[in-house]
Amino acid sequence: MNGAPTLGRDESRPYTTGPMGELREAAYWSVEGERVRCALCPHHCLIAEGKQGLCGVRGNRGGRLRALTYGVVTAANLDPIEKKPLYHFHPGSAILSLGSWGCNLSCDFCQNWHISTGEVPGSHLSPQEAADLAVREERRGNIGISYTYNEPLIWFEYVLDTSRLVRERGLKNVLVTNGEIEEGPLEELLPYIDAMNVDIKAMADDFYRRLCHGPGSVPRRTVERALGRCHVEVTNLLIPGENDSAEQVGALVDWVAGLSDRIPVHFSRYHPAHKMTKPPTPLASLEQAYRIASEKLKYVYVGNARLPNASDTRCPSCGAVVVERDGFSASPPRLSDGRCGECGSEVDLVT
């Protein structure tokens, strides 16, 4: 796919860093005639002078690819880690959550569209300042930085530089991502990432093509590459009539179970947003997904909806509640020597 404006982004409102940005040269690109080719994500945009790629935040400036949002932060909050969602990585802790602009997918149902389409103002925060802020927030229980809100992989250079500094300070790095990245840059980033939640939007390539305007196989490859290298959880937003059938949920569950039945999976309730006006996901669909997944996976959760017992972490051996959740708050894990406090079995919590 090239840099043609197939996503319908308004070219009269390109993302620019203005005086606060550092117009840092991007990684992973090459020159093709008078254009540059970005090789960060599977779109491989071919970008003319003065234009941006599909994500809107990597642009050809003077014949070189620039990371236009390097150091541009649109949101910085100390969030519960459960909000990412990560339920098996330091449950009950807080994490400094940073986001910028743009996305390399263009989902009709985007739940963060005002950020991904650049509708919110940004300010400058250098990697050094971000890492220092993360350290200062330790007094409020912060464990590190989560790169989230918009798609962090298109913020590659900033995430890489910041995560190195965060790691040096003994804190954690978390990615909340759609997983759309080429293997080279993923390999460069993975050594600094402690945990990630990858949004697998559907198993059907057609779903990705039609509703997200991107490839569907790459996010699964990202999960497969990250497994064993960092803590991984998977989220699947269930959209009525699009990906919530027993067949589609079953395909996702089979894929996850084939990797490991100990990967936590979060089914999330869709609400109408951006271009999609369908009503919210029926609770019956969420219950069905929870039931299907629980037959093959040890840790299944439902988010954005209150279903009984669907947010607590249970010991897969004896069924005892190990972490009890209410909204985004979590009880301290009931563990003994890192294992289930009731029966002593392994519970797969990073604490």
- Is residue 185 near ligand SF4 by the rule CB under 6 A? no
> Tokens at residue 335, please?
């563990």
Cα(213)–Cα(22) distance, integer angstroms: 30
Instruction: Give how many residues touch ligand SF4 by CB under 6 A.
Output: 12
Min dist. Cβ of residue 67 to ligand SF4 (A) = 9
The one among 97, 100, 104, 116 contacting ligand SF4 by CB under 6 A: 104
Min dist. Cβ of residue 7 to ligand SF4 (A) = 9
Classify the C-alpha dihedral 259-261-266-269 as positive or negative.
positive
Part in contact with ligand SF4 (CB under 6 A); list of ranges 53-61, 69-77, 133-141, 244-252 = 53-61
Buried b (16+ CB within 10 A) or exposed e, 249-279: bbebbeebbeeeeebbbbbbbbeeebebeee
- Is residue 67 near ligand SF4 by the rule CB under 6 A? no
Determine the 3-state secondary structure of 1 from DSSP.
coil
Contacts of 144 (CB under 8 A, 6+ apart): 95, 96, 134, 166, 171, 172, 173, 174, 194
Estimate to the nearest angstrom the gap between the alpha carbon of 248 and the chain centroid. Answer: 21
* Furthest-apart CA atoms within the chain: distance in Å: 66
Is the CB of residue 148 less than 8 Å from the CB of residue 99? yes
Min dist. Cβ of residue 65 to ligand SF4 (A) = 8
Min dist. Cβ of residue 324 to ligand SF4 (A) = 40
Min dist. Cβ of residue 101 to ligand SF4 (A) = 12
Strand partners, 195: 174, 231
Part in contact with ligand SF4 (CB under 6 A); list of ranges 34-42, 161-169, 195-203, 270-278 = 34-42
Part in contact with ligand SF4 (CB under 6 A); list of ranges 52-60, 163-171, 257-265, 313-321 = 52-60
- Is residue 45 near ligand SF4 by the rule CB under 6 A? yes
The one among 154, 253, 297, 302 contacting ligand SF4 by CB under 6 A: 154
> Tokens at residue 209, please?
């093509």
- Is residue 44 near ligand SF4 by the rule CB under 6 A? yes
- Is residue 54 near ligand SF4 by the rule CB under 6 A? yes
Name the one residue in this structure whose structure tokens are 């971000």.
130
The one among 36, 55, 239, 286 contacting ligand SF4 by CB under 6 A: 55
- Is residue 40 near ligand SF4 by the rule CB under 6 A? yes
Enumerate binding residues for ligand SF4 (CB under 6 A). Answer: 38, 40-41, 43-45, 53-55, 58, 104, 154
